[in-house]
Structure 1
Amino acid sequence: MSTSTSQLPRRTFLAGVAGLGAVGALAACSSGSEAPSSSGGGSTPGQLQGTINGLFMKQAGYSEQHIRQMAAAFKKANPGVTVNMEFVAYEALHDKIVAAAAAGTYDLVFIDVIWPAELASKGLIADISDRIPANWSTDILPGALNSAVYQKKFYGIPWLLDTKYFYFNKAMLSKAGIEPSSVTTWDGVAAAAKTLKSKGIVKYPLMWSWSQAEAVICDWAALTASFGGKLFDDSGQPAFTSGGAVQALEFMRRTLVDGLTNPSSTQSLEDDVVKVVSAGDAAMGLNWTYMFAAANDPKQSKVAGDVVITEVPNGGAGRMSVNGSSALSITATTKNPDAAWAFAKFVSSQKIQEKYVSDSLPIWNASYDSPSVIKSAPEVVPVAKEQLANMVNRPQVVNYNAISQKLQVAVQKALLGEVDPKQAMTTAAGDVEQILKQ
């Protein structure tokens, strides 16, 4: 299973924003997929029968209580369907999905964005491409819709959204005479960091989650995309030995050499970035959405009110970030695919997602123009509207976990100066190619 430490704290983001003044579960909801339909030859709403056994994640943005409320609403519209739900920690989720597959225990499972290739190739989750409505290609944010795509086929309905954003301390930038507009590019970020350091405002202006873990791959993937590169090409082969991937790694290493990045970044995870920025010991950094609420909470931050969330800076190819979303997948062994589809479609509908926006941002484009959604997190929603439409997946390869671990080691060696970035990637490519042949 994935060892991504980012999966845990980031899921609680919107509850934290709600604590800063966001509304709770919204009573007024805009139109959307109010009642689930069952395309692909199934029963119509209200005529569905049977039992759905679902496996969900405890740390999901939607609380267990709210997911049960969603199930109750679905049950009211579909009295012939019983929905049983099991909640487990993220660390147990992947292995439980795999272990339970042979017995056909579950009809619907919550999957991370890095699992579709493995689970689909093993025949554990169903191809639902023929069920996906044509209008979803325009109605749903593209990054969200691609959260469960493998080899151009859909293996899940997007449900929870997340991506990494760029954060900066506006008070520190102002004190140094730096305009916020100057940190919209990575060159501008480096220049701002040099100014902040030279003026003695903060010793290490930049803080990152570059520990040898999935966290560093997330940062590297975002930077690679913004520099115009890819980690893998369209045929599933390594593309990280040149272009934007190497440029991104060179940029990362250079900020360490120049003393702009806190050296502890190479042993740090996402929570460490929050702590350092919240302590006033860094002016800028990348992190998941949850950081906005945490860094602006006066109970846990010395710089509350000063931390701004914005899009990832442009490296030349746009303000691109990394997809940290999740989806609901119908298992390949389910005996009730129509009911499972209807339930997944219902809980991911615009109406339901806007009702529970205090837990997680919606997958629907139109939601980001809804006054009630904007009111739920006014500093975040406009930024999310742009960033969530511009994010890339980490490599959709079958042996992702093994490949990620090889890349983590290679990136870490380059960051620590043990080997040149390009050479590190060339060596890693050989290791990755061997894994791909397995």
Structure 2
Amino acid sequence: MERGAAPSGAGLPRRDLLGAAGALGLSAFLAGCGVGGSGATGAEGSGKGTIRALFMKQAGYSEDDITKMTAGFHSANPGITVKTEFVSYEALHDKIVAAAPAGTYDVVLIDVIWPAELGSTRVITDVTRKWPEAWQREMFAGAVEVPRYGSRFYGVPWILDTKYLYYNDAHARRAKVEAGELDTWDGVLRAARAIKAAGVTRYPLVWSWQQAEALICDYAQLLGAFGGRFLDPSGRLAFNIGGGVRALEFMRRSIVEGLSNPVSTQSIEEDVRRIFSAGQASLALNWTYMAAQANDPRQSGVAGDVKVLRTPSGPGGRPGVNGSMALAISASSKQRAAAWKYISYLVSPPVQDRYAVSSLPVWTRSYDEPQVIRANPVLVPQAKRQLGDLIARPQVRSYNAVSQLLQSEIQKALLGQKTPQKALDDAAHRAEDLL
């Protein structure tokens, strides 16, 4: 998942480490997962010692959150020391692959689009046997799919995310736009026209349309809304027919009409957050993390005016892009038992519920927990409705190469260098050999 760089804990409300009651709940949860020091040797290790974990330093849980989580883990597991490292999202994939032969990391954060590649090439470990059967019932279906490739699990979902529609309520009121008008994508364009005509903002919409994975995330959400799909039932590329074409036509039309800021084609999610928070845009798609930051007066000039809706609908429905991430164990790790303890701790409901400001839990029951609702009252009601309906980007071994081709061709359409149909036809033709 492409994510914009988020300041490490800057201005975000934080919580103390797990208290006694939370620790008791966590102990019971981990016991139910069968996690313990088995004393095994070899690749499993003793369940004690030092492990290294690789995370990204962008949206989702902040570095400050992860540092506090890890401190809590150390308190509960005095025989294990975790050394954490953070890199940008753009560097994460290549860092995992490059470090794999040396066994540098025991735990790695992986994007939803990587299990096919990293699992099939044995960069990460198949942990299917470690998965408690209850997890598949207790997690959102979209979360369960994050680390799965085929019938096997190559990790545990940890960051459950999709893009929501953010809007500036003060801007909308000035243009006499009602929230209900934003329920469909056609309605969003009509609202943008009204906001522009009222002189509220020159470019009401801003998007993450830089030639990066961010672009594919936005495109996927629109493709699903317009009834398209990445692959047909036989596994062939299908984004260049039907809804896939209509989605790109929608994107290009918003630029031609002067509704989408032209800087969108050079922006990723953090750029979108900054522009929206400066009051220079009225409508935007972005991940969970923007809700807290855009409504924080220390980081935003529009705090208090930021509202969140689930993704608008189109003729094909209203799926949100599955932008989730999972924690995986490196195949070369010699400390798999300790790594599994750490992963199980981070993913457990008590920990996820406590740190729900910037990343919401993978557990369905968490969305009725008062502390989760209090942590993100603007977003949780919409997330509870949206997270059950997610569209996945294609799980293919060559995903990164296919995505890069598609990014390039979509950019050409957005910039008016090709028609949407021509751009997608060219992308499908060039990418077919990669499948």
Could you tell me the TM-score, scaled by structure 2's length? 0.88
Q: In the alignment, is residue 258 of structure 1 matched against residue 257 of structure 2?
A: yes
- How far apart, CA to CA, are the structure 2 residues paired with 1:72 and 1:299? 27
| Corresponding letter in the other structure for 1:313 | P
Which of 66, 84, 106 is equivalent to 1:86?
Answer: 84
Superposed displacement of residue 368, structure 1 = 0.7
- How far apart, CA to CA, are the structure 2 residues paired with 1:26 and 1:386? 28
- How far apart, CA to CA, are the structure 2 residues paired with 1:228 and 1:322? 13
| Corresponding letter in the other structure for 1:222 | Q
Q: Residue 56 of structure 1 aligns with which residue?
A: 54
Structure 2, unaligned runs of 5 or more: none
Residue pair 2:106, 2:333 contacting (<8 A) in 1 also: yes
Q: Residue 185 of structure 1 aligns with which residue?
A: 184
Q: In the alignment, is residue 43 of structure 1 matched against residue 38 of structure 2?
A: yes
Q: In the alignment, is residue 34 of structure 1 matched against residue 34 of structure 2?
A: no
1:74-109 residue CA offsets vs partner (Å, 9 max, x unmatched): 455555x42332313134433332223223333322
Superposed displacement of residue 126, structure 1 = 1.6
Q: Residue 5 of structure 2 aligns with which residue?
A: 8
| Corresponding letter in the other structure for 2:351 | I
Residue pair 1:38, 1:44 contacting (<8 A) in 2 also: no
| Corresponding letter in the other structure for 1:203 | R
- How far apart, CA to CA, are the structure 1 residues paired with 2:239 and 2:113? 18
- How far apart, CA to CA, are the structure 1 residues paired with 2:394 and 2:362? 21
Superposed displacement of residue 139, structure 1 = 0.8
Q: Does the C-alpha gap of structure 1 residues 69 and 216 become closer, same or farther in structure 2, counting only changes over 3 Å?
A: closer
Superposed displacement of residue 432, structure 1 = 0.5
Compare 277-286 and 115-124 and name the one that shifted more.
Answer: 277-286
- How far apart, CA to CA, are the structure 2 residues paired with 1:385 and 1:321? 12
Q: Residue 353 of structure 1 aligns with which residue?
A: 352
Alignment of 1:384-403 (within 5 A): 384-403=383-402
Superposed displacement of residue 224, structure 1 = 1.0
Q: What secondary structure sits across from 2:29 in the alignment?
A: coil
Q: Residue 334 of structure 1 aligns with which residue?
A: 333
Q: Residue 197 of structure 2 aligns with which residue?
A: 198
Superposed displacement of residue 23, structure 1 = 5.5
Q: What secondary structure sits across from 1:340 in the alignment?
A: helix
Q: In the alignment, is residue 410 of structure 1 matched against residue 405 of structure 2?
A: no
Residue pair 1:25, 1:357 contacting (<8 A) in 2 also: no
Please tell me the root mean square deviation across aligned C-alpha atoms, in Å.
Answer: 2.9
Q: What secondary structure sits across from 2:378 in the alignment?
A: coil
Percent of aligned positions with the same letter in both sequences?
47
- How far apart, CA to CA, are the structure 2 residues paired with 1:93 and 1:311? 29
Q: Does the C-alpha gap of structure 1 residues 410 and 129 become closer, same or farther in structure 2, counting only changes over 3 Å?
A: same
1:168-223 residue CA offsets vs partner (Å, 9 max, x unmatched): 11112122222101101101111112222233333222111212222211110111
1:269-298 residue CA offsets vs partner (Å, 9 max, x unmatched): 223322332333321111122222333333
- How far apart, CA to CA, are the structure 2 residues paired with 1:36 and 1:227? 45
Superposed displacement of residue 158, structure 1 = 0.9
Superposed displacement of residue 364, structure 1 = 0.9
Structure 1, unaligned runs of 5 or more: none
Q: Does the C-alpha gap of structure 1 residues 343 and 235 become closer, same or farther in structure 2, counting only changes over 3 Å?
A: farther
How many residues in Structure 1 have an aligned counterpart in Structure 2? 426
1:319-373 residue CA offsets vs partner (Å, 9 max, x unmatched): 2212222211122233443443233112211112223334532111111100111
Compare 260-269 and 139-148 and name the one that shifted more.
Answer: 260-269
Q: What secondary structure sits across from 1:34 in the alignment?
A: helix
Q: What secondary structure sits across from 1:167 in the alignment?
A: strand
- How far apart, CA to CA, are the structure 1 residues paired with 2:119 and 2:396? 10
- How far apart, CA to CA, are the structure 1 residues paired with 2:74 and 2:298? 40
1:29-54 residue CA offsets vs partner (Å, 9 max, x unmatched): 49566324555998399x96343523
| Corresponding letter in the other structure for 1:49 | G
